[in-house]
Amino acid sequence: MTAPQKGSFEVLMKIKDVIAVLNAEVLSGENRLEEEVKWVGAADMMSDVLSLGRPGMVILTGNNSLQALRSSVVTEILALVLIRNKPVGPEVIEFAKKNNFILLRTAHYLFATCGKLYQQGFRGIDEKPD
């Protein structure tokens, strides 16, 4: 990928950039990799996803339950990234595919996952204006 300028809010970053930075595996939503990422967040509590998640946001999580997917789809976030290569049940992938939802998985742990994305210029909703 072309490295975006650090800390810049203007650089257009896409799902495929997230995949490159995290060396992530695409479990669902292969046809949506060109979509723009506006924010990144991390949450394991689904109520946090429901209250803070929004369209254009990528959420990093260790929560591999079907509920995590449902919350994500209802909230209309852009993508969910599972950390630490967490196992994913077939029903979870099936649900993601049915909703054409972007589900990614990386081997990195949460801290490193956050750090790598931050380093590339991705920001959360507390730092980046709408």
Partner 1 sequence: MKSRIDLGKYASLFQDLKASEIMTKRVISLGPEKKMAQAKEMMKIKRISGIPIVDDKHHLLGLISIQDIIVALEFNRIKEPVKSMMATELITIKTDDSLMEIVGKFERFKYGRFPVVDEKNKLCGIISREDIMHGVLERFNLIHTHDAKRRLKLEGDHSLVTGQDLDPEAASFHFVIDTSDVNSAGTGSALLKQFVGGKGIPAETARRVGISCYEAETNVVIHSKGRGEIYCFLFEDSIIVRVVDNGIGIEDIEKAMKEGFSTAPDYIRELGFGAGMGLVNMKRFADKLVVFSEKNVGTQVEMMFFLEREKPEKPKPEIPQEPIDILF
Give residues in contact with partner 1 (CB under 8 A): 44-52, 54-55, 61, 63, 65-68, 70-71, 73-76, 130
Measured CA to CA, the distance from residue 120 to residue 112 in angstroms comes to 12
Taking the complex as a whole, how short is the minimal distance between the CB of residue 85 and partner 1, in angstroms? 18
| Backbone dihedral angles phi then psi of residue 14, each to the nearest 5 degrees | -120, 170
Taking the complex as a whole, how short is the minimal distance between the CB of residue 15 and partner 1, in angstroms? 20
Query: Residue 77: which of 60, 64, 97 has the closest Cα?
Result: 60
Smaller CB separation from partner 1, 16 or 97: 97
Taking the complex as a whole, how short is the minimal distance between the CB of residue 10 and partner 1, in angstroms? 19
Q: What are the CA-CA distances from residue 42 to residues 77, 91, 115 (Å)?
A: 12, 23, 11
Smaller CB separation from partner 1, 16 or 65: 65
Q: If you search the block for the tokens 């054409």, which residue do you land on? A: 100
Smaller CB separation from partner 1, 26 or 50: 50
Taking the complex as a whole, how short is the minimal distance between the CB of residue 126 and partner 1, in angstroms? 11
Q: Which residues sit opposite 80 in a β-bridge? A: 59, 103
